[in-house]
Chains A and B, each alone.
Chain A
Amino acid sequence: MPAIIKMPNSLEDYAIVELQGDIQADCAMDGRFLGNLFFGNNGIPMLIIGNHLMYGKESKMEKPLAMLRRVKSDETGAEYHVNAIIRQKILFKTRPKPIVGTPGKGK
């Protein structure tokens, strides 16, 4: 089936957070909180998901990724629009560091 990919007038702003491994959830993810991102004073991004801490690195992607959304599909063919062109990512490639001994109730 023929398909076309069109570029709209405006793009949305997307970037990628790349994690080693996978994120598992035992329920639907809709609307759920995932984690927090901080930048250390040295500029290094730190991602905290659950009780895992990860150190990352920002990078410009060698080749950008176009994010395509299907806007139409019928017997004559499909049409996709470019929703975003993703050029930046933060890569967290080190093993997550477990956070232990959480100090009970903050504040």
Chain B
Amino acid sequence: MENKVDQANKVLLSAKLTESDVYPVSEIFTFHPEFAEVSDFKLLELNQHLEEELEKGDTLYINGSSSDNTVLCTNTNTFNVFTAETSNSLLISNGLKLHNNIKDEKEKCVHDVTVVGISYEYFVVAQIKPDFNKVKQLLSTTVYRGKEHEYEVDESKLLTFEDLWMKTQASKEELKSTIKDLNVVTINNKLRILEFEYHFRVLSFMLKLIDEFSWNLEQICYEETVNSLVDLVPSDIINSMFSMYTEETKMIDGVQLYRYKEREVCRFFAQVLLYSAGKFNFKDFMQAWEESVPEGMKVEENMLHGIALINRKSMPNVIWMFSEFDLPDTINDRFKVLFEAKERWSYEEIAPYIARLTTDKLDVNALLAKHARNFKVNDVKYYSSKHLK
């Protein structure tokens, strides 16, 4: 068999080059002996996040059933997967040495490089936000209305977190935060959305204890809350609701005490009033709202951002429920609905309605710059539709 060095020299000569024109080390390319088999691989372009995840040793997931697009998830992010094609051919080569690897070698020799595949395409990813409506839809068939209604629920539709994750194309962390936003509670390991009235009932029970025990608002006791309500509400629900609505304050005699989150409680009570009301006279609403919240809590208009809209041009001014949860998940559709509901928005007003659609690359400001027109009135910046009516 012909010596590889001789063969390389012959090739060099045929190209009218001499050994003195090139480095002593050269490489010889051969297709793998089982080329057809070894060429069965896929190429995935890695962005910085994917690369870091893999280097940490974390697993990537391709999830979701019956969907026409492929979605790739890490623990924290979700990506759409596309195929990128190239008109060039990519020779996937094992053992290839670059100039740096060979430049110091003085001995004449030939390295073997094995080509295991020729590729004309690879997968690329683009970050997306998970399909939030699908999560809501999956959980809304098993809404929890109270113990006495449990027989009405189809048990086969109950989902654990893992079940839900397998059915949604989303990273675990994003799914967890979505579930939190939906006020989902875990009962017997199954995820449940609480029916609005039931939610209201339990929260009212909890808040009534403040009066009953004459608690200081900064000194709410978890144990007493659970013990007092144990006959009325399953402990799983009290636990979830307690962590939803309270935060730690201080320890007294070794007992951790809590306070109710004013903003969360007030926002819920605003929704209770608006829930079945349609349009509400704004002045009447503010008064009714103020009276509905526990004593010592103070309602503020900015608490309504993301849940209600106010029309200040009508006489009298009116307010109505406008929940972020009911908006479309696609950016264009969402902006369309927003500008139909209200012609111009301040930043504080519109931000809660688009925050969910932001990604690492597109924050609220970037979304507004892309999808809205801004202008100033009395030094206040407003946003309106790009398309004039």
Contact = CB atoms under 8 A, between A and B. Distances in A.
A73 to B, nearest CB: 11
Contacts of A6: 59
Interface in A51-79: 51, 53, 58, 63-70
A18 B59 contact: no
Nearest to A25: B31
Size category of the A interface is: 35 or more
Given A2-B63, A30-B31, A70-B40, A40 B22 contact: yes
B10 A18 contact: no
Given A32-B31, A33-B30, A41-B23, A68 B8 contact: no
Contact of B59 (A1, A5, A28, A45): A5
B81 to A, nearest CB: 11
Given A31-B35, A106-B14, A2 B62 contact: yes
Given A13-B94, A18-B88, A39 B45 contact: no
B89 A18 contact: yes
Nearest to A44: B99
B45 A82 contact: no
Interface of B: 6-17, 20-23, 25-36, 40-47, 50-51, 54-55, 57-65, 87-96, 98-99, 102-103, 113, 115-116, 118, 122, 166
Interface of A: 1-7, 12-23, 28-41, 43, 45-46, 48, 51, 53, 58, 63-70, 80, 82-83, 85-86, 88-90, 93, 99, 102-103, 106-107
Given A6-B59, A7-B54, A64-B45, 15 more contacts: A5-B54, A5-B60, A14-B94, A23-B89, A23-B91, A30-B34, A32-B30, A33-B28, A37-B27, A39-B22, A40-B21, A46-B17, A63-B46, A69-B41, A70-B40
